[in-house]
């Protein structure tokens, strides 16, 4: 079975509400939808995404360009992954090239699993199982976060993650306490600073949050400042979570080496796809690190089933407005798709409406 075509479609995926962070707001998610076709009639589906619509044309061209290197190649996902790594050795696999590799790798594994008639998790040797899921939302102040927390509890999530990074610590604390009160007992609360603090300010705020009963504090400083992360992790009691900005498994290995985090959450696109995720999962197991996911909920739900130290599944369902089928969340858990592959089928009318 060989690759006969790779079709790419740039879209601006709709969101129910804008996603506000300490660094700006995302109105719609810029994505490149990928369809990897084979000469056996099997089509693999995945997507790449960037946060900035201004970068969507560049991401689109990068996915299409690197995908073209796979034409007429046998559908062997690990070999295809290594082919792109070799071809891009002089360029490196960070930034757009790494993002494209991750998305194309997902599409190749999706096609392979579909050709075997199995969900990806089973193809990786794991059974499908319910995954503890949390609702991931934006930056809300103490008054507006109450409604979000109540909706999270009503929807059956086991946890809620809110963004922080207000101008003052007192505003951060007020939002946390309002969310905690609205959630009630039994629902976890996480916070995410999205790299918005200096090392000194991060230390101050993380220490102040230590008494709030948080599940974790995420990315308090720049994602690649592993030394600062390690100092904060050593100084505070609340677990420090990083990983969504690891560009490949090698960066995760470097972060582990300096003790940069208590918990880890790779992004399946940035960590170089299914192939990179499985390498990351092996690193997490060796280091006894609980491993959660970052967006890409369709692929992540399959991969966490095959992750020995699986922790939480993040639900920020960026592609919901383009898929045919909704997620299934019940009793605090997401139930992964049992369809062959990753479980993505596009609503073609929705895709056409939101094409960029």
Tens-digit pLDDT profile for residues 57-73: 999 999 999 999 999 99
234 CB burial (10 A radius; 0-12, 13-18, 19+): exposed
The tens digit of pLDDT for each residue in 195-204 reads: 999 999 999 9
**pLDDT computed for residue 33 by the predictor:** 98
The neighbouring-strand residues paired with 48 are 32
**pLDDT computed for residue 198 by the predictor:** 97
Check if 294 is active-site: yes
What is the Cα 273 distance to its own chain's centre?
11
Question: Is the Cα torsion angle 148, 136, 208, 210 positive or negative in sign?
Answer: positive
Catalytic residue among 60, 161, 163, 247: 163
Rounded Cα gap, residues 283 and 70, in angstroms: 28
> Mean pLDDT score of the chain, rounded to an integer?
97
Read off the DSSP letter of residue 221: S
**pLDDT computed for residue 317 by the predictor:** 96
The pTM is what? 0.96
Question: How many percent of the chain have pLDDT more than 90?
Answer: 98
Name the pLDDT band for 22 (thresholds 50, 70, 90). confident
Catalytic residue among 81, 135, 247, 294: 294
Check if 2 is active-site: no
For residue 23, pLDDT beyond 90: no
At 82, phi and psi to the nearest 5?
A: -65, -35
Rounded Cα gap, residues 129 and 333, in angstroms: 9
As a 3-state breakdown, the chain gives helix, strand, coil percent values, each rounded to 5, of: 40, 25, 35
The tens digit of pLDDT for each residue in 168-197 reads: 999 999 999 999 999 998 999 999 999 999
């Amino acid at each position: 079975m060989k690759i006969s075509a790779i079709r790419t479609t740039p879209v601006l995926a709709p969101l129910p509400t804008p996603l506000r962070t300490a660094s700006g707001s995302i109105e719609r998610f810029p994505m490149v939808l990928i369809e990897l076709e084979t000469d056996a009639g099997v089509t693999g589906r995945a997507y790449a995404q960037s946060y900035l619509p201004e970068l969507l044309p560049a991401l689109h061209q990068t996915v299409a360009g690197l995908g073209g290197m796979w034409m007429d190649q046998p559908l062997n996902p690990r070999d295809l992954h290594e082919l792109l790594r070799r071809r891009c050795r002089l360029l490196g696999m960070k930034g757009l090239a790494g993002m494209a590799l991750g998305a194309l790798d997902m599409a190749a594994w999706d096609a392979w699993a579909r050709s075997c008639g199995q969900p990806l998790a089973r193809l990786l040797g794991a059974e499908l199982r319910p995954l503890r899921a949390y609702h991931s939302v934006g930056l809300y102040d103490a008054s507006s976060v109450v409604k979000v927390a109540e909706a999270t509890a009503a929807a059956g999530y086991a946890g809620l993650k809110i963004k922080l990074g207000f101008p003052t610590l007192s505003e951060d604390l007020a939002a946390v306490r309002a969310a905690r009160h609205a959630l009630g007992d039994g629902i976890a609360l996480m916070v995410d600073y999205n790299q918005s603090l200096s090392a000194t300010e991060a230390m101050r705020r993380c220490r102040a949050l230590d008494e709030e009963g948080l599940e974790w504090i995420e990315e308090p400083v720049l994602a690649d400042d592993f030394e600062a992360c390690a100092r904060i992790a050593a100084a505070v009691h609340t677990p420090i979570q990083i990983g969504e900005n690891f560009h490949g498994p090698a960066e995760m290995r470097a972060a582990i080496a300096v003790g940069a985090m208590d918990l880890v959450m790779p992004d399946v696109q940035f960590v170089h796809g299914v192939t990179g995720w499985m390498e990351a999962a092996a690193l997490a197991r060796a280091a006894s690190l609980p491993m959660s996911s970052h967006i890409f909920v369709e692929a992540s739900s399959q991969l966490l089933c095959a992750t020995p130290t699986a922790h939480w599944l993040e639900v920020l369902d960026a592609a919901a407005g383009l898929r045919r089928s909704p997620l299934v969340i019940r009793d605090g858990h997401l139930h992964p798709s049992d369809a062959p592959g990753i479980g993505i089928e596009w609503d073609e009318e929705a895709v056409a409406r939101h094409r960029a």
